């Protein structure tokens, strides 16, 4: 049987094909554009961003949502039910009052500032420590990598809450806010360090890094100018997820009695104080717990969305 081959007649159609025109009309999409497109089309990113934006407004401008002082407690108005007008303060208590007569809604509104600030400062400090140590270990390697990796393993083996409880016992006289931030930062940098190390080890083998190294550029300059900026993308996602962990850890430490003291308006403090009125008024435990859960889940969903967007394997096409 005779084989027939059909070849397109390009000779008669050369005038119709213009490679330059095709090249100029093609639209190149950068990785950044793909990331933004993936984020704005992700419902989890939109919802979590809106919730966190609202929480930010609440934390910065709590006076827009309540005019009641969260630290003003009237014993005669203790444990009032939802939607009660105070007889002595003449204030409307939307979520009732605590066992000491403090407005529960006002404490939740003002408590958002404490929780977000703790999560933010711990995230910045721990991520900075982890990025620097992980980048140095991954780029230079050798004995320096071994030392940093072993130190990371030691801190990674210590549970966050257990290590924080032990250290906070030694810092009883310190400022309650900053001692919690410092303690959580000391035990919270290991995940960032490990991720940064692996990302730098992958980035330093790229051709552009080899090129600048061949030009005689100093190692530290290459590390901070070329390697870290191109290896830090995965850290952004884990930093958002870590904020949810730190916010919950702050509340857990306050619940255990070693974190924020009762003079600080915090969700963790309110959850701890609600233990005494759990049977008579379970709402005092429920309301700050819901606020804490929504905040933690929002940061977690935001981090997952960013991780899906910057990872080419997970990015939606």
Per-domain residue ranges of the chain: 31-310
Whole-angstrom Cα Rg for the chain: 27
Close Cβ partners of 78 (under 8 Å, ≥ 6 residues apart): 97, 98, 99, 100, 101
- What predicted TM-score, i.e. pTM, was given to this entire model? 0.83
Give the position of tokens 């213009």. Answer: 18
Structure tokens at 15: 């005038």
Q: Looking at residue 31, what is its pLDDT?
A: 67
Q: What are phi and psi of 72, to 5 degrees?
A: -85, 110
Per-residue model confidence as pLDDT tens digits over 113-160? 999 999 999 999 999 999 999 999 999 988 999 999 999 999 999 999
d(CA 229, CA 169): 39
Nearest to 251 by CA among 184, 171, 155, 304: 184
CB atoms within 10 A of CB 306: 24
Structure tokens at 197: 């190390």
pLDDT(317) > 60: no
Per-residue model confidence as pLDDT tens digits over 175-231? 889 999 999 999 999 999 999 999 999 888 888 888 888 888 888 888 888 888 888
Per-residue model confidence as pLDDT tens digits over 12-35? 554 444 544 444 444 445 667 887
Share above pLDDT 70 across residues of the chain, in percent, rounded to a whole number: 88
In this structure, are residues 104 and 97 in contact, taking their beta carbons and an 8 Å threshold?
yes
Q: State mean pLDDT over 94-122.
A: 91
CATH code at 31-310: 1.10.3720.10
d(CA 202, CA 196): 10
Residue 305 CB-density burial (10 A; 0-12 exposed, 13-18 middle, 19+ buried): buried
Per-residue model confidence as pLDDT tens digits over 224-278? 888 888 888 889 888 988 999 999 999 999 888 888 888 889 998 898 888 877 7
Q: What are phi and psi of 229, to 5 degrees?
A: -60, -30
């Amino acid at each position: 049987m005779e084989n027939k081959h059909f070849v397109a007649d390009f000779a008669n159609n050369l005038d119709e094909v213009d490679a330059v025109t095709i090249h100029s009309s093609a639209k190149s999409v950068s990785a950044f554009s793909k990331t933004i497109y993936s984020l704005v089309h992700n419902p989890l990113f939109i919802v979590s961003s809106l919730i966190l934006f609202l929480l930010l407004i609440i934390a910065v401008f709590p006076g827009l949502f309540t005019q009641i002082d969260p630290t003003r407690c009237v014993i005669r108005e203790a444990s009032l039910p939802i939607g009660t007008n105070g007889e002595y303060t003449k204030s409307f208590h939307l979520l009732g009052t605590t066992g000491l007569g403090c407005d529960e809604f006002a404490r939740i509104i003002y408590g958002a500032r404490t929780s977000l600030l703790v999560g933010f400062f711990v995230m910045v400090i721990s991520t900075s420590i982890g990025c620097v140590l992980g980048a140095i270990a991954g780029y230079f390697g050798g004995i320096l990598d071994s030392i940093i990796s072993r130190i990371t393993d030691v801190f990674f083996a210590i549970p966050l809450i257990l290590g924080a409880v032990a250290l906070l016992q030694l810092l009883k006289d310190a400022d309650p806010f900053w001692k919690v931030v410092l303690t959580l930062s000391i035990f919270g940098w290991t995940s960032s360090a490990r991720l940064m190390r692996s990302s730098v080890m992958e980035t330093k083998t790229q051709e552009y890094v080899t090129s600048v190294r061949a030009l005689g550029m100093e190692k530290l300059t290459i590390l901070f100018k070329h390697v870290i900026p191109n290896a830090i993308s995965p850290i952004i996602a884990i930093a958002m997820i870590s904020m949810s962990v730190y916010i919950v850890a702050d509340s857990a430490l306050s619940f255990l009695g070693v974190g924020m003291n009762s003079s600080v308006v915090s969700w963790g403090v309110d959850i701890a104080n609600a233990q005494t009125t759990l049977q008579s008024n379970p709402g005092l435990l429920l309301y700050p717990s819901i606020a804490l859960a929504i905040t933690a889940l929002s940061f977690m969903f935001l981090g997952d969305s960013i991780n899906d967007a910057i990872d080419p394997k997970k990015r939606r096409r």
